[in-house]
Amino acid sequence: MVRSYMRHGPTQAFGIVNSPTANSAYDGRLAYVAGWEDVLVWDVKRGEMISMWHSPSHTSPVSFLTPSPSTSSSSSSTSDTPQTFAVSYQDGSIRLWSFNPSTPEVEASEIVTFNGHKKSISYMTWDNSGSRLASGGAEGEIVLWDVIGEIGLFKLKSHRGQITGLRFIPHPNPSKRSHPGFLVSTSKDTYLKLWDLETQHCVQTIVVGRGEVTSLEIKEYDDDTSSALEDGEGEERIRGRWVIVTGSGDGESKVWTVEKEALDSGLKEGEDGQLPTLIKPLCTLPLPTSSHAITQINFHETLPLLFLQTNDKTMITLRIRSEEEVNAKRARRKKRDKEKSKKKGKQDEEEEEVNDVPSGEVKWEERITSWCVVRANAKIKSFAIARDQVDSAKGGVQLLLALANNSIESYTIPSPSSTSKKSSKLPDGSTPEPTKTHVVELPGHRNDIRSISISSDDQIIASCSNGTLKIWNSRTTQCIRTIECGYSICSTFLPGDRHLVIGTKSGELLLFDIASSTLLESYKAHSGSVFGIDVRPDGRGLVSGSEDKDVKFWDFELKEKGEGEKVVDRLGRETVYKTKQLALVHVRTLKMTDDILCCKYSPDGRFLAVSLLDSTVKIFFSDTLKFFLSLYGHKLPVLSLDISQDSKLIITCSADKNIKIWGLDFGDCHRSLFAHDDSIMQVSFERGQGQERISHYFWSVGKDGLLKYWDGDKFELIQKLEGHHGEIWALATSHNGQFVVTGSHDKSIRIWEKTDEPLFLEEEREREIEQLYDSNILDNLNKDDQEGGEGGEVEGVTKQTSETLMSGEKIIEALEIADNDREATRQWEEEKEKAKIEIPRPSRNPELIAAGDLDPDEYVLKVIQKVPTANMEDALLVLPFRYVISLLGYLDEWALKGQQTVLISRILFFLMRTHSNQIISNKIMRTPLLTLRNHLRESLDTQRNVMGYNLAALKFLRSSWEQERTAGLYESEGMDEEAVRKRIEEGRGKRKRVVV
């Protein structure tokens, strides 16, 4: 009989405030940060997580997130319209999420998934309209996505390093609205590139410097005059420019400029035959000398502020002065120089007036001045500016910092509007200082989680790290208590679950009262780090092992605390009531020959197992401490061990990546298992309640980030669980055997629950082999595509995934079913015509009947409509050519019926472009293609007429609404019709400018 097990599955990870893998976004109230594979939304003021965006069965960490400009520009925290966020992951996928901040109880919905990058995505940006998205990957490729059409437009391949910055530049000439604009990109290959999206080619490449280019930002500056002025010949001249700021890995920041007029003229040869230089160097920002890389640069949308983040604990804020301020500063400087000259008696012969403004062009480096510096408690991973959220009460800019120690902070930076225009100081003469407003750090640890313990009723989880002890509710995963402690390495609940003992790196045993969150007593137990603690099976004491080579035994006692409280009764008699509290009393010590790494009692209380640094495990009788067995065989030290509930088996794990299963009666090694690809940190038997639930199943965790479930009797791997993104240090199994808890270097705590789904080993191994086979197929397909696209600067966006392969197989299956049904119908009609008698119709395919007894063409259309738009082209690549011919026939039928014209056109153009050589060489295809062309043209004409009619109706309704609204608005002012029209035209022609 085949033995079955119960499958374990992950639940929601907790203990994460933010992960250092991605950037952040902020709207003044809500912070959007990465929580490894999820996106977490925090209410910064209340310190509560209000939403988590999780994609099922997706474990790749988030690498970048950015909100759409159409929603981020508005007051997003109070708007009722959902926001669109683009979230990229390290597996090269992009997911668009829709989230409404006004209703956080409604979960965010996943709109579409894009796949086009071979490696992790490092940067993304939206265009001004929010209809296009540009993404850059670690392989140096840039992909442009059509968000509305849900397809990849094209891929730009020119960079040779990770993309670190992307920005869209719209075409400066309003008459060329059809032009898709330009794109500026930076990479770690030290290059800054300008791309023309119409020709899809790089028009200029600049070597920024010797170091890697790590950040990019662009700001548009218009002249004070109108943007389009007529020169002497009556032609329009476009005024203004874009300012580009780049940051390098050596701490240098450079400023570049792109003139709108030069960008509009394009690459036209001059009189000397040379092509013009579109991007020109402007200056180098005067920053404090630092070797830290500038990882992020951002302009404030409305205020003249520039924010630069370095790869350490500081963030620099610069203020951009106007030309009037620079000229005023020049005048003051000239005045001071003249006053100094007068004192020295070296006055010039021709004395100029002091108030004269010095002439000369104002350089950009003169306009930059230091504003303030934000110093955080830990390394800053990213920052985000609250867009259009200026605190009028404090007169500041809201800023969010995502730190590397699993916390986020918000600051208020004084705005330049609250200061004097003549100085970069506040009105009282002090230097602007940022104010820390909120901190979100309690829901997680600042350092690695080194130990986890579970209470006897499985209701409370205790996690320990360097400096903090946190108590969690296992059902709600909410943090109940946060207690300061030392560098804890091991921990355990005491009987009754009211107290917790922690062993620290400094050799202390800390006794905590959980209810009052207080440290009852600190015992200097050892002279070295305490690596192991275990409670005696009778519940009357515990044992501790340390690197000082001592095993110490402690008893639990209730000791009186203080002098007590005196109470006088009615007769005048005094009674002293003294409170008692739990205490540890050292009773005896066992000296060992080497450092002790772990110690464990057997559940029956007979033995004590101690692992030493010499890679052996010594077993002693617990009552007499007489030596019983020595287990040797590991090549590296044994880091953890555990004994089964029936006290028959002992398992040991080592840094040599092996797990050994021993018999506790004779000390014989039953089996040695190569378990993990790195050091195994901890093992634990699965516990159960009752004699019938005692099993030899056990768990193991290692530095490879995997949790594995084993059968100790059959020596087989039951299940391998992935989810952590770092080394797993801690492991704890529940007392009822229903879940297991792990803690990792990624500062997350995860609960893995036992489900009701049965697991069979053969099926599990087959599933793993299929996954490996599919991944190899996908790697080969994507590798072939990549090799086929070498040598070109532009190529199509294709990437085969398991979803596209499944979609392609579904289309093939639908075509086979439809073709077989048609062939059976045709043969039946021929036989009926030949026999000239009634012949029963053959039975149809069950799939067609289950779908609603559809016709073959309707069934194929239904299957294709279920394929996601983003996966359509990749799914069609899987089709062999004979199925392509069959699909073209169904396209003709759909076009004749006028069904799904847009979908038909897209599929047809892609198939013609992909299989053009085979179609051209096949003369038989000419007639059906001509028929398809005629039918599709008729369908497109019908669609065009319908759209034109609808657009005309919408324009009419809009003009009627505008006339009624504006006429009613200006009627109260006593204006005539001509004045009203003039005011409307003036309002349409106005442009918003940022005056700096």
Q: Is the Cα dihedral 974, 976, 977, 978 positive or negative?
A: negative
| 989-992: Cβ within 8 A, 24+ apart | 991/222, 991/227
Q: Residue 898: helix, strand or coil by DSSP?
A: coil
**How far from chain centre, in Å, is Cα 457?**
35
Q: How far apart are CA 658 and CA 634, in angstroms?
A: 8
The pLDDT score that the predictor gives to residue 309 is 92
| Residues in the chain with pLDDT values less than 50 | 74-78, 224-235, 347, 349-358, 390-393, 418-423, 428, 787-789, 989-996
Task: Kindly write down the DSSP assignment for every residue of 345-383, as one continuous string.
Answer: T---SSPPPTTPPPPSPPPHHHHEEEEEEEE-SS-EEEE
Instruction: State in Å, rounded, how far the first CA of the chain is from the last one.
Output: 80
Q: Residue 927: helix, strand or coil by DSSP?
A: helix
The pLDDT score that the predictor gives to residue 567 is 66
Tell the residue number behind the tokens 């290059």, with chain if given. Answer: 191
Element (H, E) at 62: strand 62-67
The pLDDT score that the predictor gives to residue 426 is 54
Angle at the Cα of 601 from the Cα atoms of 610 and 554, rounded to 5 degrees: 90
What number of CA atoms fall less than 13 Å from residue 289's CA on the CB side?
Answer: 0
Q: How far apart are CA 723 and CA 742, in angstroms?
A: 10
CA distances from 565 to 285, 560, 572, 581 (A): 70, 12, 15, 15
Strand order in the sheet with 541-546: 530-535, 541-546, 550-568, 574-591
Q: How far apart are CA 160 and CA 189, in angstroms?
A: 6
* Backbone dihedral angles phi then psi of residue 950, each to the nearest 5 degrees: -65, -40
Angle at the Cα of 396 from the Cα atoms of 393 and 397, rounded to 5 degrees: 130
Q: How far apart are CA 15 and CA 646, in angstroms?
A: 35
The pLDDT score that the predictor gives to residue 159 is 92
Q: Is the Cα dihedral 324, 326, 330, 333 positive or negative?
A: positive
Nearest to 277 by CA among 268, 285, 286: 268
The pLDDT score that the predictor gives to residue 101 is 86
Q: How far apart are CA 735 and CA 688, in angstroms?
A: 6
Burial of 19 (0-12, 13-18, 19+ CB in 10 A): buried
CB atoms near residue 437 (< 10 Å): 16
Nearest to 561 by CA among 596, 510, 521: 521
Q: Do the Cβ atoms of 512 and 469 come closer than 8 Å?
A: yes
Strands (E) in 634-748, as ranges, are 638-643, 649-654, 658-663, 669-674, 680-685, 697-702, 706-711, 716-722, 728-733, 739-744
Position 745, amino acid: H
Retrieve residue 283's tokens: 């200056």
Treating both helix axes as pointing N-terminal to C-terminal, what angle do 881-897 and 856-866 enclose, rounded to 10 degrees?
100
Q: Do the Cβ atoms of 883 and 875 come closer than 8 Å?
A: no
The pLDDT score that the predictor gives to residue 191 is 94
Q: Residue 719: helix, strand or coil by DSSP?
A: strand
Q: Do the Cβ atoms of 594 and 614 come closer than 8 Å?
A: yes
Element (H, E) at 136: strand 132-137
The pLDDT score that the predictor gives to residue 529 is 95
Retrieve residue 890's tokens: 């169904």
Retrieve residue 235's tokens: 């032609």
The pLDDT score that the predictor gives to residue 766 is 86
Q: How far apart are CA 264 and CA 688, in angstroms?
A: 75
Retrieve residue 651's tokens: 């398992």
Q: Do the Cβ atoms of 180 and 146 come closer than 8 Å?
A: no
The pLDDT score that the predictor gives to residue 418 is 47
Position 42, amino acid: W
Q: Do the Cβ atoms of 660 and 651 come closer than 8 Å?
A: yes
Nearest to 634 by CA among 599, 601, 661, 595: 661
Q: Residue 264: helix, strand or coil by DSSP?
A: helix
Q: Do the Cβ atoms of 185 and 136 come closer than 8 Å?
A: yes
What number of CA atoms fall less than 13 Å from residue 717's CA on the CB side?
Answer: 18
Nearest to 18 by CA among 371, 384, 287, 482: 384
Q: How many helical (H) and strand (E) elements, i.e. helices and strands, does the chain have? A: 14, 57
Q: How far apart are CA 253 and CA 309, in angstroms?
A: 11
Q: Is the Cα dihedral 894, 898, 900, 903 positive or negative?
A: positive
Task: Kindly write down the DSSP assignment for every residue of 839-879, as one continuous string.
Answer: -PPPPPPHHHHHTTS--HHHHHHHHHHHS-GGGHHHHHHTS
What's 270's DSSP letter?
-
Retrieve residue 875's tokens: 């799914």
What's 711's DSSP letter?
E
CA distances from 951 to 213, 901, 943, 946 (A): 47, 18, 12, 9
Q: How far apart are CA 319 and CA 738, in angstroms?
A: 58
What number of CA atoms fall less than 13 Å from residue 644's CA on the CB side?
Answer: 21
For residue range 603-636, list pLDDT tens digits in order. 999 999 999 999 999 999 999 999 999 999 999 9
Retrieve residue 231's tokens: 């020169």
Burial of 197 (0-12, 13-18, 19+ CB in 10 A): buried
Q: Do the Cβ atoms of 793 and 158 come closer than 8 Å?
A: yes
Q: How far apart are CA 812 and CA 718, in angstroms?
A: 35
Residue 516 CB contacts under 8 Å (≥ 6 apart), including other chains: none
* Backbone dihedral angles phi then psi of residue 652, each to the nearest 5 degrees: -130, 145
Q: Do the Cβ atoms of 602 and 633 come closer than 8 Å?
A: no
Position 224, amino acid: D
For the CA atoms of the chain, what is the radius of gyration? 36
The pLDDT score that the predictor gives to residue 724 is 93
Rounded to two decimals, the pTM is: 0.86
